A and B are shown apart, each in its own frame.
Chain A
Amino acid sequence: MILVVLDHDGNRLRKGSLEALTRARALAEALGTQVAGVLLSEGQAPVEEARGHVATLFVAELGPYTPEKWAAGVLAAAKDGVKAIVAPSSRQSRTYLGRVAYALKAGLLEDTLESWAEGGMVYATRYAYLNRVTQKVRAALPVVLTVKPNTTPLAQPLGSMGEVVPLSVPQVATVEVLERVQEEKKGVSLTEANVVVTGGRGLGSAEAFKEVEELAALLGGAVGATRAVVDAGWRPYAEQVGQTGKTVQPALYIALGVSGAVQHLAGMNKSKYIVAVNKDPDAPIFKHADYGIVGDVHQVLPALIQTVKKLKD
């Protein structure tokens, strides 16, 4: 069995789950086995949508997320033996699957770009050295494999509804969740976005981000921020792109008033197209840009908004 962990927001499967399904189906075919899904939730879960994608769907409602509970849920679904566990890559999955991989003494292939099976082994490519190096790795079965967002075509429903199997998951109560600090959700998630518009210190103030938000919304994208901006308290940490923030790989990355420190580049240097706007022609970001404007971001940004609006009309 190939077990795919279906991540969701309570109402819908996340895009990453459909990418993970595509990978899981390819591995299942190469290894001559079936795909089963596991849907873990804090409460509500998109069971019907998930059933449309797998012949067998393990479900469990576990209450507030902890890595221990999620690891126990995945292990319960895998208890009759798995060749591979496939999941969308996220900070949470990369934590609880560390537990799962250790428990199964499995090869952990993290944040993979591609994966395939050959001669009973699973191969993958992935980035290392802060996104600067591409590694080719392999591991014997079983493997635990996470799928980097925006790397894989989305899976289509099977056309039939799978069987739902309730899981019995051992209780783990070593962590008590006291308080959730929910961040206001605006538009698309940063790691899944096709367009990311990032503001740097060059924007000068928190207020200037209103226009960054506007441009991002016009392009159907997400807002990103540099460490300097987050440290200044202009934007939440959840928006930070870079070594100590999120890694993104959108089709279009627009850096506004961003100088291009190595730590920032580590979080976005694999974007398909990079655009930079900066008043300093010697800013390192221009060396990594496909397109750039040397100019005052406070003048260029409103002009960009106007031009994109015109294009949309």
Chain B
Amino acid sequence: MKFVAVIRQVPDGESRLKVQGERVDLSGATLILDQMDEYAVEEALRLKEKHGGEAIVVGFGPERTEEAIRTALAMGMDRGVHVVFEGHADPVAVAEALAPVLREEAPTLVLTGGQQADWDSQALGGALAEALGVPVVAWTTALELEGETAKAKHDLDEGAEWVRVRLPAVFTTQQGLNEPRYPTLPGIMKAKKKEIRKVQVSLSPKVELLSEEIQEKARLGKVLDGKDPAQAAEELVRLLHEEAKVI
């Protein structure tokens, strides 16, 4: 059994972003293993602990992505592969770059986060599955192996469903699937010695990024005192009706 988690490094949602020359400048931001991908790492670890085999982290991105790969190794992943690429890449291009690496590993299944916290893309799971010619289960909240298949619960646009899927398959992960563990100190020490294989790729992005800007909508900030709830409610409804004209 071989369980692969595909991860990326992204800015922490709490860090302040700035824009320089029409590009987001991450130099001052705290960079972390994408929290959605953390669920993928945790699930790979749980599957390995239950069924045996190997848990591998495959990271995509610039040199600094190695930090996020080390985090996954400190959580307990056995080894890492770093597909190195500097710059912006759309999910189709990322899937093209990752496909040869994943084919070589021939995993039982591949896990990756449901949405990227930088590009806000939800497509990597689907694109990877197409690249590998395997099914995809998106927004997974439960996953069990049953021989050559897996049984999974996942969210639809409305409601959820249980499916049985032939392996190998790609699963996208999210909150609710598990509670990612924290790296322990011994885990962090061990991670320093674990192998990270570097793979250099040249890829052809299909989508070109022209500019980025931060448009924080200026808010009115009209705050009322609610000591008299009836009066405050009336004033609020009046403002929404007459000023904002939304009710």
Interface residues of A (CB under 8 A from B): 65-68, 71, 90-92, 94-103, 105-111, 123, 126-140, 174-183, 185, 189, 195, 219, 227, 237-238, 243-244, 251-252, 262-263, 266, 269-270, 272-275, 277, 279, 281, 286-296, 299-300, 302-304, 306-308, 311
Contact = CB atoms under 8 A, between A and B. Distances in A.
A181 B233 contact: no
Contacts of A129: 11, 17, 24, 117-118, 120
B232 interface: yes
Interface string B235-247: 0110111001011
Contacts of A185: 158
B151 A92 contact: no
B175 A99 contact: no
B174 interface: yes
Contacts of B209: 135-137
A90 B215 CA distance: 24
B208 interface: yes
Given A101-B92, A108-B90, A303 B229 contact: yes
Contacts, number: 289
A289 B221 contact: yes
Nearest to A9: B158
A294 B215 CA distance: 27
A252 B240 contact: yes
28 contacts: A65-B156, A66-B135, A67-B135, A95-B172, A98-B91, A98-B92, A99-B127, A101-B91, A102-B131, A106-B92, A108-B207, A129-B17, A132-B17, A134-B214, A135-B210, A136-B212, A176-B163, A177-B161, A178-B151, A179-B161, A243-B13, A275-B236, A275-B240, A281-B223, A286-B223, A291-B222, A291-B223, A299-B226
B40 interface: no
Given A263-B13, A286-B223, 15 more contacts: A94-B122, A101-B206, A109-B207, A111-B120, A134-B213, A135-B209, A136-B209, A138-B208, A195-B246, A219-B247, A243-B35, A272-B246, A289-B219, A299-B229, A307-B233
Residue among A68, A94, A102, A281 facing the most chain B CB atoms (10 A cut-off)? A102
Given A244-B174, A303-B233, A95 B125 contact: yes
Main SS of chain A's interface residues?
Answer: mixed
B225 A295 contact: yes
Contacts of A304: 233, 236-237
A72 to B, nearest CB: 11
A126 B219 contact: no
B35 to A, nearest CB: 8
A138 B127 CA distance: 19
B227 interface: yes
Given A288-B219, A295-B225, A176 B176 contact: no
Given A90-B157, A133-B213, A71 B221 contact: no
B117 to A, nearest CB: 6
A99 B241 CA distance: 45
Contacts of A296: 226, 229
B103 to A, nearest CB: 14
B155 interface: yes
Contact of A292 (B126, B161, B169, B223): B223
Nearest to B237: A307
Nearest to A92: B157
A292 B235 CA distance: 10
Contacts of B157: 90-92
Interface stretch (B54-62, B69-77, B136-144): B136-144
A45 to B, nearest CB: 16
B14 to A, nearest CB: 5
